[in-house]
Amino acid sequence: MSKEKAILTLDGKRIEFPVVRGTEGDVAIDISKLYEEHHITTFDPSLANTAVCKSTITYIDGDKGILRYRGIPIEQFVTNSPNFVEVAYLLLSGHLPTREEGITFRNRLTENELLNETMRYQFRSVPTSAPPMAQLSASLSNLACFHRDLFVLDTDDEFMDVSAQLISKIRTVAAFIYRRSQGLPYIYPNPNLRYCANFLHMMFSLPYAHHEVSPEVEDALNLILILHADHEQNCSAATVRTVGSSRANVFASCAAGISALWGPLHGGANVEVMEMLDGIHRGGLTPEDCIQMAKDKNNAFRLFGFGHRIYKNYDPRAKILREACDRVFATMKNQNDPLLNIARKLEELALADSYFIDRKLYPNVDFYSGLLLRAMGIPTNMFTVMFAIGRLPGWIAQWKEQHDTIGGRIIRPRQVYVGNTETNYIPVEQRP
């Protein structure tokens, strides 16, 4: 622990705090004893200035547009044949799998891809129009009912087992949600297919016709899931940590993460982006209209897919996805997706506009991801589900890091009370 000190003077008192420095130069003032010793709190409503943990999982430099998983730049995962399962293993274990570890993990995913048949009935308990994210969150909670033996994880093997359960089954759940919404029969997983091809098989095959997945599409889906796999203390990861800090099991914690991700300011933005692009395409709006509405403080509209709490530069994931759109569309029938041209136009207008420049608002991961998902035939209302499938390994890794924190305490923020001072109860007959 460094001997550096930060000093606060308040009400004539001089208070010293230890200083914490990260491996990439992050600097934090350790106030963990502040309330206990001085009955003073700090005030940071959106936690934009507050580090809630030390983590070794993901590093982001928002000014330079850097994103690394366990120290490896994300660009290096997508240059060759992108492999989401390998990245999931890296996030969960902290190291890239050896050949044998990789085979064992893949086998675990295959062994755990089927749902308990009883779970099928949960899908019938909601309308076919039920929001997929509501069903996904409920399904992850329900999975806990079939795996009570994995509530308490005492060994790494149990941790990898529950991770494989969740990472494998979330695909089957997502595909079943989609199939029921289309009135189609469920297509069961095929143990001979790799992770992404198996998912697309469950989504789009028919009992009499197997859905062939091209290498380009399989690579594109691996790439999308890799780019979504973790992002340090984002809203949903922080939710998973908070729930997990009460010693709730990993199923319940990740189900909570799904609910946090659903919001349009977070993972739900990829749906909003597509609806915005589609609105322009249908003729209701022009790109210029969107830019003006986004700048109008009296208008709740935001340029979805733009802006980020951490990135004050181009989101490196958006850059990769933008390039992937060109590459994948060139191999697919919808080479000239009008929505891609509209997205390009919006980006061009925004990046030249002082409102966006002054606020350092750049495209984020959600701006281009939907275009690729749409090209694969995945409907807009399933986009945030796809984000959740990608983010699940990151949530589990964050849950584990929180779970293993020595001396880890339940996360319970404080407040500044600004309500009534003490008042008396007034019987109803004496009220106005």
Q: Which CB atom, from 150 or from 243, has the smaller least distance to ligand SDX? A: 243
Max Cα-Cα span within the chain: 79
Residues facing residue 59 across a β-bridge: 68
53 neighbors 233 (Cβ within 8 angstroms) = yes
Q: Which CB atom, from 247 or from 359, has the smaller least distance to ligand SDX? A: 359
Catalytic residue chosen out of the listed positions 201, 308, 315, 337: 308
Q: Any contact of residue 307 with ligand SDX (CB under 6 A)?
A: yes
Cβ neighbors of 421 (< 8 A, separation 6 or more) are none
Q: Is 404 among the residues known to form the active site?
A: no
Token pair, residue 55, equals: 């983590």
Q: Any contact of residue 231 with ligand SDX (CB under 6 A)?
A: yes
Token pair, residue 206, equals: 């028919």
Distances (CA, A) of 75 to 95, 112, 305, 317: 17, 30, 20, 9
Q: Any contact of residue 359 with ligand SDX (CB under 6 A)?
A: yes
Q: Which CB atom, from 217 or from 273, has the smaller least distance to ligand SDX? A: 273
Residues numbered 109 to 128 that lie near ligand SDX (CB under 6 A) are: none
Q: Any contact of residue 219 with ligand SDX (CB under 6 A)?
A: no
For 4-57, give the DSSP string: -EEEEEETTEEEEEEEEE-TTS-EEE--TTHHHHHS-----TT-TT------SS
The CB-of-260 to ligand SDX minimum distance in angstroms stands at: 10
Q: Which CB atom, from 109 or from 227, has the smaller least distance to ligand SDX? A: 227
Q: Single out the residue of 132, 257, 305, 316 in contact with ligand SDX (rule: CB under 6 A).
A: 305
Distances (CA, A) of 316 to 75, 78, 363: 8, 12, 9
- Only segment of 19-27, 148-156, 276-284, 298-306 that touches ligand SDX (CB under 6 A): 298-306
The CB-of-276 to ligand SDX minimum distance in angstroms stands at: 10
Q: Single out the residue of 280, 303, 340, 378 in contact with ligand SDX (rule: CB under 6 A).
A: 303
- Only segment of 81-89, 188-196, 241-249, 296-304 that touches ligand SDX (CB under 6 A): 296-304
Q: Per this entry, what is the length of the chain?
A: 432
Q: Single out the residue of 274, 366, 371, 384 in contact with ligand SDX (rule: CB under 6 A).
A: 366
Q: Is 308 among the residues known to form the active site?
A: yes
Closest among 217, 226, 384 to 305, alpha carbons compared: 384
Residue 72: in which H helix or E strand, if any? strand 72-73
Binding mask 175-214 for ligand SDX (x = CB under 6 A): ----------------------------------------
Q: Single out the residue of 178, 304, 368, 395 in contact with ligand SDX (rule: CB under 6 A).
A: 304
Q: Which CB atom, from 96 or from 265, has the smaller least distance to ligand SDX? A: 265
Other C-beta atoms within 10 Å of 234: how many?
24
Q: Which CB atom, from 180 or from 308, has the smaller least distance to ligand SDX? A: 308
Residues numbered 232 to 251 that lie near ligand SDX (CB under 6 A) are: 234-235
Token pair, residue 310, equals: 């951490």
Residue 140: in which H helix or E strand, if any? helix 132-143
Q: Any contact of residue 294 with ligand SDX (CB under 6 A)?
A: yes
Q: Any contact of residue 265 with ligand SDX (CB under 6 A)?
A: yes
By CB under 6 A, the count of residues binding ligand SDX is: 22
Q: Which CB atom, from 55 or from 234, has the smaller least distance to ligand SDX? A: 234
By beta-carbon distance, which residue lies closest to ligand SDX? 307
Rounded-to-integer distance, Cα 41 and Cα 8, Å: 12
Q: Any contact of residue 322 with ligand SDX (CB under 6 A)?
A: no
Residue type, 105: F
Between the two ends of the chain, the Cα-to-Cα distance in Å is 61
Distances (CA, A) of 305 to 228, 323, 362, 363: 14, 16, 8, 6
Closest among 51, 16, 427 to 233, alpha carbons compared: 51
Residue numbers at the binding site for ligand SDX (CB under 6 A): 231, 234-235, 265-267, 269, 294, 302-310, 359, 361, 364-366
Q: Which residues are catalytic?
A: 308, 366
